[in-house]
Chains A and B, each alone.
Chain A
């Protein structure tokens, strides 16, 4: 089935460790996004990529890094520089032309202890 997959669904890490969240899509979408959501809050944009090998910072990029080496993959690394990494992380993709809808994964809930 076509879609966007995030893995794992739950992730636990010790403080000070870097951790990489996976996001894969087989929708042939050009654009991909990473969002962070804290309890009771809206989605905040971390990074987005509109084409392979290119990405831009969103509103809260500090402490995060991404890569876009393949069209179907947009991994997010939460580094030890991120002060409060515990959150719900959502990945999305969309075509990058015309009027379009974004498709979201089911999210990864990261807990740093």
Chain B
């Protein structure tokens, strides 16, 4: 599975959009981009995934570049409850799920 690179930490003001980048330059054609987040001392929570097209659900939007070498998770109106570690993962169907160190997002007043 392709490796991912994320910034270790980011800050965002409450009410503003949080844009979390992820680099996955070695991604293969059959690998999906997944995003999870982990609020302190809880189990990670699935947010969204995509293959080629941009995706949106009730939690977030996922923007994948045309060459698929990077993506951005967008939380359109961040709240204090969005403070968490966000993990970008690339994997094929039914392969093992491994996590990197993620981006620690701090939402502030």
Chain A residues with CB under 8 A of B98:
45, 58-59
- B101 partner residues in chain A, CB cutoff 8 A: 41-42
Asked if B100 is at the interface (CB within 8 A of a chain A CB), the reply is yes
Query: Is A94 interfacial (CB 8 A cutoff)?
Result: yes
A43 CA to B96 CA in the complex, in Å? 13
Interface of B is mostly: loop
- Choose, from B21-29, B40-48, B67-75, the stretch at the interface: B40-48
Q: Which A residues lie within 8 Å of B38 (CB)?
A: 43
Q: Check A64 for interface membership: any CB of B closer than 8 A.
A: no
A31 within 8 A of B: yes
- Identify which of B42, B97, B102 contacts A94 (C-beta below 8 A): B97
B109 to chain A, nearest CB (A): 24
- B96, A58: Cβ atoms under 8 Å? yes
- B residues contacting the other copy or chain, number (CB 8 A): 23
A98 in the interface (beta carbon within 8 A): yes
Task: With a 10 A CB-CB cut-off, give which of B34, B96, B100 has the most chain A CB atoms.
Answer: B96
Question: Which A residues are in CB contact (< 8 Å) with B45?
Answer: 104
Asked if A75 CB lies within 8 Å of chain B CBs, one says no
A25 sits at the interface (CB 8 A):
no
Taking CB as reference atom, which chain A residue is nearest B99?
A43
CB A66 to nearest CB in B, in angstroms, measures 14
Q: A107 and B43 in contact (CB under 8 A), knowing A99-B32, A102-B97?
A: yes
Residue of chain A at shortest CB distance from B87: A42
What are 19 of the A-B contact pairs (CB < 8 Å)? A31-B94, A41-B101, A42-B85, A42-B99, A42-B100, A42-B101, A42-B102, A44-B99, A45-B98, A50-B94, A58-B96, A92-B44, A97-B93, A97-B94, A102-B44, A102-B97, A104-B43, A106-B42, A106-B43
In the A-B complex, the 6 residue pairs with the smallest Cβ-Cβ separation, listed nearest first, are A104-B43, A101-B46, A43-B99, A42-B101, A96-B94, A42-B99
